[in-house]
Amino acid sequence: MKTKQLLLLLPIVAFCSTPGYANYFSNPRLGTNLNIGSAPNPKPADLREAFTYKETTTTYAAQPAEAPPAIAMVVEPQVQTIASPPAYLAPLPAPQAVHHFLIFFDFDKSNLTAESRQVVAEAVNAARQNGFVRMVVTGHTDTVGSFSYNQALSERRANAVRAEMIGLGMNNAEIVTIGKSFSDPLVATGPGVREPQNRRDVIDLENIPLAELD
């Protein structure tokens, strides 16, 4: 009986003689490997650090946004079509030949100046190039003096131009001279006015046969 009691007490004595904290915290399931035997007991702070869940944060660098692919745009040139004119349109008329020339005189004069001779030459060339068969020269005066005096003056001015035309090769039969005194002024004035534009000769080129003058 005493022997059985001793056998039962041996484990209790062994347990009491061994420090209780030697393997109390040893737990392989938790991954904690504590010293066994007479190793010192771990500190509570070490246990809190071992069993504390630590949250980790991972920071990812932002990737630069990729630019969209370039789109090539092809612009086709605009072609404007201009319709051709209808065939029935008549062609533009040819420019009309000049058939009216003016020559001016000094006061109470009938002689031609160099400028006046140049205008007479232009009139003769136009008559030849365009086939005019009649050249009418009309003399005019201003309103200074009597009508009869200016009538004679206007005739002398017309004859001076005819003489110049004949000298340039024109036929005398193709030239007609008229004197109108001051009855047809270019600029209307009262009597006794020396208006330069009224002291003039007018050369008209016509294609009317000379026989119609009779």
The pLDDT tens digits of the residues spanning 70-81 come to 555 655 666 566
Average pLDDT (98-122) is 93
Q: Would you mind telling me the total number of residues written for the chain in this entry?
A: 214
pLDDT-derived band at 37, boundaries 50, 70, 90:
very low
181 has a pLDDT exceeding 50: yes
pLDDT score of 38: 47
Q: What is the pLDDT of residues 116-169, one digit of tens each?
A: 999 999 999 999 888 877 899 999 999 999 999 999 999 999 999 999 999 999
Beta-carbon contacts of residue 153 (< 8 Å; ≥ 6 apart): 108, 110, 139, 141, 145, 179, 181
CA atoms within 13 A on the CB side of 120: 28
Are 140 and 154 spatial neighbours (Cβ–Cβ below 8 Å)?
A: yes
> CA–CA separation, 214 vs 203, rounded Å?
20
- Spatial neighbors of 25 by CB under 8 A, at least 6 apart, are 32, 34, 41, 42, 47
> Around Cβ 48, how many Cβ atoms within 10 Å?
9
Per CATH, domain 100-213 is 3.30.1330.60: yes
182 and 168 in contact (C-beta within 8 Å)? no
Ranges of each domain in the chain: 100-213
pTM: 0.53
φ/ψ of residue 165, rounded to 5: -65, -40
| DSSP label at residue 126 | H
In the chain, pLDDT over 90 holds for what percent of residues?
44
Is the predicted pLDDT of residue 213 greater than 50, yes or no?
A: no
pLDDT on residue 87: 53
Reported as half-sphere exposure (CB side, CA atoms, 13 A), residue 8 has a value of 5
Instruction: Let me know if 145 is exposed, middle or buried by CB neighbors in 10 A (0-12, 13-18, 19+).
Output: middle
